């Protein structure tokens, strides 16, 4: 499902070159739940963003669900993201002026889905994270764990193949964090491919496989 071949990411900072990903190759199969761990600044988010088409490699190839996205232009990339990827971020990234239901409907704005269908799908998505009774709440009227569940519902509403979660529990207490992990694990059994960045060894143990990154290179696979 995810095949990353010899990917490099280099940032030019003035005259200096900062090698953030250094010849990374990863293969993740359909239905796998993979955790990415490693020190701060090691390149975890950069790798996630490249998998999800939010960033492009300096060199190397990225095949996602059979598509070679490495050379996609902006338009191709946003279509790819909308069709195949569901993102969950540490900081939730919800639209503060919209209700939970409207936030979940948002990714469907760009796919030509009717308002009625968008609403139905968002309601269904909210029920999957057990938030049917909070659709009218704005993000500030929700707990941290509930906000993250809304963002998971938003990630799922487009029916993606892959869920990318970058420290999804980073801003949550341990009880809400466990709840999010249980939800992600539940999705694995439904066939989603899940890639999650975490600093927490207990959370990494939910995954089928743990990939450790150090200084932009894959150090170890467990």
Ligand X SMILES: Nc1ncnc2c1ncn2[C@@H]1O[C@H](COP(=O)(O)OP(=O)(O)OP(=O)(O)O)[C@@H](O)[C@H]1O
CB of 153 to Mg ion, least distance (A): 23
Distance in angstroms (rounded) separating the CA atoms of residues 97 and 5: 41
45 part of the interface to Mg ion, by CB under 5 A: yes
Distance in angstroms (rounded) separating the CA atoms of residues 140 and 136: 12
Token pair listed for 105: 């409907």
CB of 37 to ligand X, least distance (A): 9
CB of 44 to ligand X, least distance (A): 3
CB of 94 to ligand X, least distance (A): 20
Distance in angstroms (rounded) separating the CA atoms of residues 205 and 29: 18
42 part of the interface to Mg ion, by CB under 5 A: no
Residue nearest to Mg ion (CB): 45
99 part of the interface to Mg ion, by CB under 5 A: no
DSSP label of 104:
H
Write the CB contacts of 94 (distance below 8 Å, at least 6 apart in sequence): 100, 103, 139, 147, 150, 151, 154
Which residues sit at the interface with ligand X, rule CB under 6 A? Answer: 11, 18, 20, 38, 40-46
Residues in the site for Mg ion, rule: CB under 5 A?
45
């Amino acid at each position: 499902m995810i095949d990353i071949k010899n990917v490099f990411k280099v940032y030019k900072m003035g005259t200096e070159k900062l090698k953030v990903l250094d010849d990374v190759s990863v293969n993740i199969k359909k239905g796998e739940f993979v955790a990415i761990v490693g020190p701060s600044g090691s390149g975890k988010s950069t790798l996630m963003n490249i998998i999800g088409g939010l960033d492009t490699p300096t060199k190397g190839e990225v095949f996602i669900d059979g598509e070679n996205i490495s050379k996609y232009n902006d338009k191709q990339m946003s279509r790819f993201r909308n069709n195949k990827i569901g993102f969950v971020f540490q900081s939730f990234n919800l639209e503060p002026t919209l209700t939970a239901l409207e936030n979940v409907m948002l990714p469907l704005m760009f796919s030509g889905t009717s308002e009625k269908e968008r609403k139905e799908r968002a309601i269904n998505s909210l029920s999957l994270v057990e938030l049917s009774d909070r659709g009218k709440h704005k993000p500030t009227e929700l707990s941290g764990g509930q906000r993250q569940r809304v963002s998971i519902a938003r990630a799922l509403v487009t029916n993606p193949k892959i869920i990318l979660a970058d420290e999804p529990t980073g801003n949550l207490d341990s009880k809400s964090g466990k709840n999010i992990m249980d939800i992600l694990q539940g999705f694995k059994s439904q066939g989603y491919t899940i890639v999650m960045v975490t600093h927490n060894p207990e959370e990494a143990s939910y995954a089928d496989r743990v990939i450790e990154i150090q200084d932009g290179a894959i150090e170890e696979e467990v």
